[in-house]
Structure 1
Amino acid sequence: MKRGPISEFIVKNYKHFNSASLVDAAVGWETHLNNGGKMFVTLAGAMSTAELGISLAEMIRNDKVHAICCTGANLEEDIYNLVAHDHYHRIPDWRALTADDEMALLEKGLNRVTDTCIPEHEAMRKIEALINKEWQKADAAGESHPPHYYFWEVLRSGALKSEYQIDPKNSWMLAAMEKNLPIYTPGWEDSTNGNMYTAACMDGRIKNVHTMNSGIQTMMRLADWYTEVSKNSSIGFFQIGGGIAGDFPICVVPMLEQDLERDTPLWGYFCQISDSTTSYGGYSGAVPNEKITWGKLDKSTPKFIIESDATIVAPLVFAYVLGQ
């Protein structure tokens, strides 16, 4: 592959410590794909609000990513950014905010994520009415689907197309929809739309809580996908951040192997970008070798940790894999 200027820069300059780990992980990803492997990406933190979609959507379109596990916040926040970007409010000096400053933001309907405020009315409430219709339609039909399905139905309907405020090529959810990419969202109720859905169930607008797939259904879907894809391809695991987005899917392998007693290939590549340092009992900061003891990785599995800010690191890794 002919290398572009970003790839050339990191190969020339990133020689040690976390920068070298970044290059090693990127080269390992490329090698994994060149050997016929597939890549599973997990998204924790506010990656969509950080506009990771600019680079992640390109990875999806170019078949460098084959499935995603993410928090409910990352699903919805990509759509919020798509339709409300012009109303976002950035606060460069966010570390200096007082409690009174934060209250003033709340009164303006601005929900802060570090240096960026998501506008309540233009983002959350704009989506709420449309997605409620999709939930209620599925509820009336006795259907059950995962969270991303309902967002895709809203996008497919075209109801938001005139509202786009960014180039749609920078939305990873649109790219995933166009590729029909498998998406898994554990703990979805811990999100703005998850709260809205809970309220709809409690006040009777949704009659059957299982109109939304449960966590168990999500794990079963993932198990079926892993079983099918691993028949012909080694599957890599690229984890951005910690928490449930990474913890949930990685354990599908020991579940299949130990609980269902199926001969199941282990994950064939592992990388974690995290600022969680190794600590006593801190799973997100655990070194990859710990996962060997749980039947997730093999001693020969290529393993990488990049202890840094994922908003800086992930786009550089993606750029290398894309040859940019």
Structure 2
Amino acid sequence: MDDRYSRQRLFAPIGNQGQNDLSESSVLIVGAGALGTMLANQMVRAGVGLVRIVDRDYIEMSNLQRQILYTEEDVEKALPKAVAAQNHLEKINSNVQIEGIVSDVHRDNVTSLMNGMDIVLDGTDNFTTRFLLNDACFQNGIPFVYGGAVRSRGMMALFIPEETPCLRCVVSPGAGKGETCDTAGIISPVINMVTSYQATETLKYLTGNKEALHGMLKTFDIWTNQHYDVKLTNPKQGCPTCQENLYPFLQAQQNEEFVVMCGRDSIQVHTNEKMDLPKWEEKLSVIANTKLTPFLLKAKVDHHHTFVLFPDGRVLIQGTEDTTKAKSLFHRYIGL
């Protein structure tokens, strides 16, 4: 018997059988940032048999404050997060199969990425991807462990097809507008708290301890000492995901459409959300050089990239024709 898991086996609700169940389980972690790295660390150390990690981004110095798997050397090498995560995790537990996949998650590949998975863990930083995962999980009958964090506030819930409401029932599309770590900030301890809840509910589910699941949407602020739980009871009437089986984020028309502007080194995003430009100027001026006119808002976020926001919900991302990079920038600074 492997001494690696001896203390976990001694925990009665898991025991030998639960540990064997974990070794035969597969989890998909989407996002290898703050939430994703801590989740991956916990799943690999717990002995989950297959841990698949998908992320589209590269490591930057500002990540190191809260993304626990990465080092300054990773930053210097500009490694993709999924690659660096796999490299470090393989040194932690050679008994676990780890797959680091550098990719954007979208409607055309999400089902194949979760193929064979027992559960999907949310390590993302935006609600567009979360609603996509929610739709794909409920379409394929796979539990979805939602988690989110910004400032000192965290949220989490486990959604199980045919047993609980889905994410759309309790969080409306468009939630969290303008609240991202890059514009509002974040402290590392809230990540620990969110992922501890996420990982614990995952371990309960994978080891067959479903009676111990808390069955709630948990919201908390560890700075202001506020906690608020909402019991997951009845699905929302007419929910297009878990009641009508329409899965809108898996359809061709999504809430965001990234279009390359040929010859202009720009990508245009259609958000379908009206934008209050003065409010956005207030938010973005903290981290960007902004210029507001009656017709648009320009926000230069770094030496290479500028956002141009329009009242009708369009956003131009100037300085790239790479849609993957544009999505990363968009969700980092706009966060719709």
TM (norm. structure 1) is: 0.34
**Higher strand fraction (1 or 2):** 2
TM (norm. structure 2) is: 0.33
